[in-house]
């Protein structure tokens, strides 16, 4: 899944570790989400989006999943 | 976080007790027992296992001690233990059931080994194999996820 986490982090000059600590996860998980290897759980996606003050769909690109489900 | 700090302190006390127990048994074995103690290979394995576990306990103790020193370290440790991705990786690698079963197999092997050493070798090898496969699976899923 594509996300805008990396861009948002760079804009705010945040390290992966700072973001991980703020949203209650590990740096490795943030790396995995950024590279698309791991899909964040709904609570984690909410926490990350809330941290950046945005909606989930603005941070996480859900289009491929919405197309698959025929929505 | 205060509850977690208390839990870490309890874990540290248990790990310290284990290290002291192993050291005490080691000293007792060196100075107070006869040279011939049961089946030598099983006794050697027991000593090696106890020393290995003590070393792991010592490393964990150092890690916990460092984490307790500052709030950020404690938060990182908490996140590491409660991370959903890590939980998924552990579940795919069969943790905690595979290590528990392996230790039960090793324990049974050590006891049964006093009557038949083939059982000891078989169960120990199977337990080691299980642990190796589980560790390999964990490494693979850590890279994939």
- State the residue range of the domain holding A51: 5-68
CATH code, domain carrying A47: 1.10.260.40
User: What was the ipTM of the complex prediction?
Assistant: 0.81
Domain count, chain A: 1
What is the pLDDT of chain A when averaged over all its residues? 91
Q: How many CB atoms lie within 10 A of CB B137?
A: 17
Contact B79 A44 (CB under 8 A): no
Token pair 């197309």 is found at A67
Helix (H, G, I), strand (E, B) or coil at A3: strand
Confidence class of residue B32 from pLDDT cuts 50, 70 and 90?
confident
What is the pLDDT of chain B when averaged over all its residues? 92
Q: Is the pLDDT of residue B33 over 80?
A: no
CA–CA gap between residue A64 and residue A32 (Å, rounded): 18
Q: Is the pLDDT of residue A64 over 80?
A: no
List the single residue in B76, B85, B144 with the smallest CB-CB distance to A29. B85
pLDDT tens across B95-124, in order? 999 999 999 999 999 999 989 999 999 999
Q: Residues with Cβ < 8 Å from B119, sequence gap 6 or more? A: B109, B112, B113
Per the DSSP assignment, residues forming a β-bridge with A60 are A3
A41 contacts in B (CB within 8 Å)?
Answer: 84
CA–CA gap between residue B132 and residue B53 (Å, rounded): 16
């Amino acid at each position: 899944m594509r996300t805008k986490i990396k861009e948002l982090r760079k804009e705010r000059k945040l390290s992966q570790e700072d973001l991980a600590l703020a949203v209650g996860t590990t740096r490795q998980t943030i790396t995995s989400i950024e590279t698309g290897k791991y899909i964040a759980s709904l609570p984690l996606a909410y926490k990350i989006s809330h941290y950046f003050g945005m909606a989930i769909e603005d941070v996480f690109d859900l289009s491929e999943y919405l197309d698959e489900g025929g929505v | 976080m205060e509850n977690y700090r208390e839990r870490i302190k309890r874990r540290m006390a248990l790990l310290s007790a284990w290290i002291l127990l192993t050291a005490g048994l080691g000293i007792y074995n060196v100075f107070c027992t006869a040279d011939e103690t049961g089946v030598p290979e099983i006794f050697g394995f027991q000593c090696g296992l106890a020393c290995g576990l003590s070393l792991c306990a010592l490393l964990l103790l150092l890690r916990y001690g460092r984490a307790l020193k500052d709030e950020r370290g404690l938060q990182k440790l908490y996140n590491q233990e409660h991370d959903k991705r890590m939980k998924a990786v552990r579940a795919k690698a069969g943790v905690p059931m595979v290590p528990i079963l392996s230790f039960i197999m090793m324990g049974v092997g050590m006891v049964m080994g006093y009557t038949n050493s083939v059982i000891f070798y078989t169960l120990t090898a199977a337990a080691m194999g299980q642990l190796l496969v589980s560790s390999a699976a964990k490494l693979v899923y850590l890279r994939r996820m």
